[in-house]
Structure 1
Amino acid sequence: MIRLVFRDLLANIPIWLGALVVTAAAGAAVSVAAGLVTSGFGLEFVYAAGLATLASIATILTTVSIVTVLGSVTRLTVDLQRRSYALWQLVGVSSARVTWIVRAQLTVVAVLGSTLGTLIASPFLPGILRFGLSDSSGLQSIQPQTRPESQLVVIVLVSVIVVLGSLKASRRAGGVRAIEVLRNADGDVTRMGIARWILLAITVALSLVLTWSAGNNSEGASGQLLLIGPLFTAVAVCAIPLIAPPLLRTWTKVIPDRTSTSWFLARNAAAFQVSRSTATISALVVTIALPGSFYAAFSTNGNFVRSVTGESTGTLGPGSFLILLGGPLLVSLAGAAATVLMATRTREQEAALVQSAGGGRGLVLLRATWEALILVGTAALISAAVQVVTGVGMAVSLSRISPTLPDFGLGPGVTATAVCALVITAASAIPVASALRRPVREVLAAE
């Protein structure tokens, strides 16, 4: 069994690379929070408490991002290997053993990834912490400290989060039915399970309660500002299987299929591979909606304070942005790119099929580019809705005290969308361009 665990990992490195990248990003992100805590050792209580508060908020947001993105990545990992799990069962490996093999593989990847991310981040931590604290009143003069034991804690913490967050995906691996998957290797259509419906209801309720409570204070929202945007983002991510597939099919119909052959192929590929598409869209929504909704809440609250006092409030500076949102965005963007790279083999074979049917190299590359932009466009539409709901919700709540104009955080949202478009297009098109140098027969024959 141990031999199978490691041999399968080595045989499917491109697929498992996605989980490794996400866990490495998670290790680097949580290392920043750990650095904040260790920097408070030996300081006065007020400084240590301030650093611990920043660290706790950053850790919570990063953990939510890890669980959200990791769920999509591990589910896609299992779906891409369903045929292998079916073959294992045909040669006598029980369903329970398949489940435990996948869990062992995820544990190995989690430990390796978190260790790698922590080690890579280590030399950069002092500079990151110094810049991050430059916006925090009273904390600018603190000298950052890192300790080896804190790095060990980060590795253990991230590994535990990864293993616990992937339990459902490992059960999916053991639940594969051999005959069913040998007939259809595309995997199950992503659905809203009971647990996801419950989580959606909880996040909706919390979002509404916190948003409404923002209008209970004549001085404006305070602690709620850090949670309202992330909660509305969590609502969108929970509902991704419900809204992403129909939204993708609907908005892409705006451009007629006859306009471009490459668009027709990309649109149908994205719509057909529902599991693959929703995994990428989930990570992209976190990357775009989180900063957009964060700034929407802060800016709308600033409009309220200005209408009441005539004074401007401080905005979220780049240092605070890096400390609070840098980690979650690193994890989500890495996850989005990873989900695209994990399916490289499938995309290469799809491109080879297009070539064998008479399509040129330009058509193949355009198809890969359009597919990436379709995924980013779908995520951007969902994220725009999150930002609008955040801004309008805050404005309605605060208008109970004084008329308030909403802000939608368009600047950060557009910037995040542009970054995602560049990263995802590169992750989709570059491997396909590399595959075009190989003979079509060789690509189609690859397993």
Structure 2
Amino acid sequence: MIRLLVGELRADWRSWAGLVLVAAVAGLAIGVGGSFLETGIAVGGRMGAGISGVSSMILVFSGVSAIAVTGAVARLAVDLGRAGYARWQLCGVTPFQTAAVVLGQAAVLSVLGAASGLAASTALASSVMRVAFDGASGGYGSPQAEVGGLTAILVFGGVLSVALLGALPAARRAGRTPPLDALRDSEPRDTSMRWWRWGLLAILVAGLLVAIRAWMSSAADATPDDRSTLISQTPLIAPLLTAVIVAGGPVLYGPLLRAWTALVPARASSAWFLARHQARYHLGRSTASVTPLFTGTAMLGGLYTVAATWGAAARAAGEPFEGLKLGQVVVLLGGPLLLAGIGAAVVVFMSNRTQAREQALLAAGGATTSVIVCAAVLQALIHVLTAALLSVVVIAVTGALTTAMLHPFYPHVVPQFDLGTSVVLVGAGAMLTITAALLPVVTRLRASVAEGLSAV
């Protein structure tokens, strides 16, 4: 079993390398939040309470992003190896052994990534601490960041749990799917959610509603000292809404993608026909491509929308409001945004071999070079626009909920939707995704069709 695990990692490293990189970035994001928490506990007092408060915000934003992106990449890595796992079973490996080896691969690589993320956290935590607290009101200063046992537990436990939970359904499916079915169909066709995923979605929705109701009840009886604490919790709306949509991804992403792409008729061009068909057929790959950019854009746009709504209400009431500073955005969303960019590029890299065979088949069927290139670009844009549409939903609901939650304190509050930063991020994500999709396509055009079709 060990030899099979190691041998498969060496032979199919392209499908698993992305998981190590994403796990490392997730480990860094969680590690920074864990370092803030550990530092706050060590410092104690008023300063420690302030640092611990920031740590909870970082961990919520980073945790949601890590769960979404790392889980999606782990699941994609397993799904891309379906044909190989089928050949294992034809050679005598049992379904249980197949699932065990796949989960072992995910565990080994996520631990390697978590170790790298913890090392990066050790090097960067103090710098992030300075960005967060230098010049801040309250006299917190900038203490030396602590990176010890608590941070290590959060990093390794968080990254390993997320990777295994993401890989588990795909690993069970790989073990249970008849080998001939897996060899005949490279993409799992079942996109429905299992009972546990429905249960998770119900728990998240119920938890969000209960939290909002409890917040509103607290706001009604809030003292002046409680007021600022309650208002400072409104930025958590966006990551919580993002988590709800990610939990319902299997039944949300596909219908949305099919609905909006149907607005452009297939006869518009042959490249559009191919891109739309591939995006719809490879829903697992599309989900993994959409999730990173969606989480980053939704949380960034949601954070700025909360700040804009809060700021407009405060200024209308004659209260001072500084607005979001770049340092605050970097501290809260640096990890999630890095995960969004790297996750989107990693998915394209991991899918490179499967796409090579598909494009070789298109070339063998008579597709021109321009059609193949345009189809790759359009497919990347389909994923980006689907992520943008989902982000708009989160930003809109965030604005509405923020308005309702601030109304007890600011009777004349109105929602202010700040989409500028989200548009910039979507544009950057589009450029990154298109570049990551085009580079291997252009490189493969030099190879013969026979070489592309012979890729294993």
> What is the TM-score with the length of structure 2 in the denominator?
0.89
Counterpart contact for 1:226–1:294, Cα < 8 Å: yes
Given the alignment of the two structures, is residue 235 of structure 1 paired with residue 244 of structure 2, yes or no? yes
Counterpart contact for 2:134–2:142, Cα < 8 Å: no
Counterpart contact for 2:129–2:142, Cα < 8 Å: no
Given the alignment of the two structures, is residue 389 of structure 1 paired with residue 392 of structure 2, yes or no? no
SS in 2 for 1:405: coil
Pair 148,198 (structure 1): closer, same or farther in 2 beyond 3 Å: closer
Given the alignment of the two structures, is residue 257 of structure 1 paired with residue 258 of structure 2, yes or no? no
Shift, 1:169, TM fit: 3.4
The match for 1:405 is 414
The match for 1:322 is 330
Shift, 1:13, TM fit: 0.9
The match for 1:414 is 423
Pair 182,305 (structure 1): closer, same or farther in 2 beyond 3 Å: same
SS in 1 for 2:231: coil
SS in 1 for 2:134: helix
Write the distance in 1 (CA, Å) between the matches of 2:245 and 2:155: 29
- Kindly report which structure 2 residues correspond to 1:288-303, keeping only aligned pairs within 5 A, or say none: 288-303=297-312
Pair 2,354 (structure 1): closer, same or farther in 2 beyond 3 Å: same
Shift, 1:225, TM fit: 1.0
Question: Which of these residues, 352, 362, 372, is aligned with residue 364 of structure 1?
Answer: 372
Write the distance in 2 (CA, Å) between the matches of 1:32 and 1:425: 30
Gaps of 5+ in 2: 221-226
Q: Any idea what the Cα deviations from partners look like across 1:360-382, whole Å, max 9, x if unmatched?
A: 32322221111111101011011
Given the alignment of the two structures, is residue 8 of structure 1 paired with residue 33 of structure 2, yes or no? no
Counterpart contact for 1:285–1:382, Cα < 8 Å: yes
Amino acid at match of 1:169: A
Shift, 1:192, TM fit: 1.9
The match for 1:89 is 89
Question: Structure 1 vs Structure 2: percent identity of aligned residues?
Answer: 35
Pair 244,44 (structure 1): closer, same or farther in 2 beyond 3 Å: closer
Amino acid at match of 1:20: V
The match for 2:187 is 186
Shift, 1:387, TM fit: 0.6
Q: Any idea what the Cα deviations from partners look like across 1:137-165, whole Å, max 9, x if unmatched?
A: 33663143355767754653345334543
Amino acid at match of 2:91: V
Q: Any idea what the Cα deviations from partners look like across 1:330-361, whole Å, max 9, x if unmatched?
A: 23432232222211111122222222233332
Counterpart contact for 1:102–1:170, Cα < 8 Å: yes
Amino acid at match of 2:177: V
Amino acid at match of 2:338: L
Counterpart contact for 1:210–1:228, Cα < 8 Å: no
Pair 140,414 (structure 1): closer, same or farther in 2 beyond 3 Å: farther
Amino acid at match of 1:258: R
Write the distance in 1 (CA, Å) between the matches of 2:265 and 2:13: 38
SS in 1 for 2:321: coil
Pair 186,170 (structure 1): closer, same or farther in 2 beyond 3 Å: closer
Q: Identify which range, 418-427 or 213-222, moves more after superposition.
A: 213-222
Q: Any idea what the Cα deviations from partners look like across 1:54-88, whole Å, max 9, x if unmatched?
A: 22332233222222222222221221111211221
The match for 2:35 is 35
- Kindly report which structure 2 residues correspond to 1:48-447, keeping only aligned pairs within 5 A, or say none: 48-134=48-134, 136-138=136-138, 141-147=141-147, 152-153=152-153, 156-165=156-165, 166-211=167-212, 215=216, 217=219, 219=227, 221-307=230-316, 309-399=317-407, 402-447=411-456
Shift, 1:185, TM fit: 2.4
Q: Identify which range, 218-227 or 328-337, moves more after superposition.
A: 218-227
Counterpart contact for 1:135–1:320, Cα < 8 Å: no
Q: Identify which range, 366-375 or 236-245, moves more after superposition.
A: 236-245
Amino acid at match of 2:63: T
Shift, 1:181, TM fit: 1.7
Pair 102,439 (structure 1): closer, same or farther in 2 beyond 3 Å: same
Gaps of 5+ in 1: none
Write the distance in 2 (CA, Å) between the matches of 1:235 and 1:135: 36
Write the distance in 2 (CA, Å) between the matches of 1:416 and 1:312: 29
Pair 426,146 (structure 1): closer, same or farther in 2 beyond 3 Å: farther
Shift, 1:6, TM fit: 0.7
Write the distance in 1 (CA, Å) between the matches of 2:162 and 2:204: 22
Write the distance in 1 (CA, Å) between the matches of 2:182 and 2:455: 19
Counterpart contact for 1:130–1:140, Cα < 8 Å: no
Write the distance in 1 (CA, Å) between the matches of 2:289 and 2:162: 18
Write the distance in 2 (CA, Å) between the matches of 1:134 and 1:362: 53
Pair 421,54 (structure 1): closer, same or farther in 2 beyond 3 Å: same
Write the distance in 2 (CA, Å) between the matches of 1:304 and 1:369: 42
Counterpart contact for 1:214–1:394, Cα < 8 Å: no
Write the distance in 1 (CA, Å) between the matches of 2:338 and 2:173: 27
> What is the TM-score with the length of structure 1 in the denominator?
0.91
Write the distance in 1 (CA, Å) between the matches of 2:42 and 2:401: 42
SS in 2 for 1:345: helix
Pair 407,255 (structure 1): closer, same or farther in 2 beyond 3 Å: same
Q: Identify which range, 151-160 or 227-236, moves more after superposition.
A: 151-160
SS in 1 for 2:177: coil
Write the distance in 1 (CA, Å) between the matches of 2:134 and 2:326: 9
Write the distance in 1 (CA, Å) between the matches of 2:42 and 2:405: 42
The match for 1:19 is 19
Amino acid at match of 1:197: W
Pair 368,305 (structure 1): closer, same or farther in 2 beyond 3 Å: same
Shift, 1:399, TM fit: 4.1
